[in-house]
Amino acid sequence: MDDCIFCRIVEGKIPARKVYEDEHVLAFHDIAPQAPVHVLVIPKVHVRSIMELEDEGLAGKIVTGIRNVARELNLDEKGFRVVNNMGQDGGQTVFHIHFHLLGGRTLTWPPG
């Protein structure tokens, strides 16, 4: 989609600080980090939200990507948080499904 910022990042039209990439998933640093480590993990195909994620295989590939990023950034032993915002009330601002991987410090609850 030409108007989707994340699709444009996948296409290389907008630069991003990539952390991980495979055939199905791209992960890059968030431009407004909320923790010492704040990475966005997205599928390379456009899916608007978790409510439109019908491909269970893609869902598994996203989770595998999240796990690989957590290992790459040494978050796997101490822990991390994965957040998906869905819809306007859920705080979704970019309508391309994405997961926030947050870590590098103790995270409190509730998140906000």
Cβ burial of 99 (10 Å; 0-12, 13-18, 19+) is buried
Tell me the backbone φ, ψ of residue 57, rounded to 5 degrees: -65, -40
Tell whether omega for the bond before 15 is within 30 degrees of 0, i.e. cis.
Answer: no
List residues with catalytic annotation: 98
Tell whether omega for the bond before 33 is within 30 degrees of 0, i.e. cis.
Answer: no
Stated length of the chain: 112
For residue 96, how far is the Cα from the chain centroid? 10
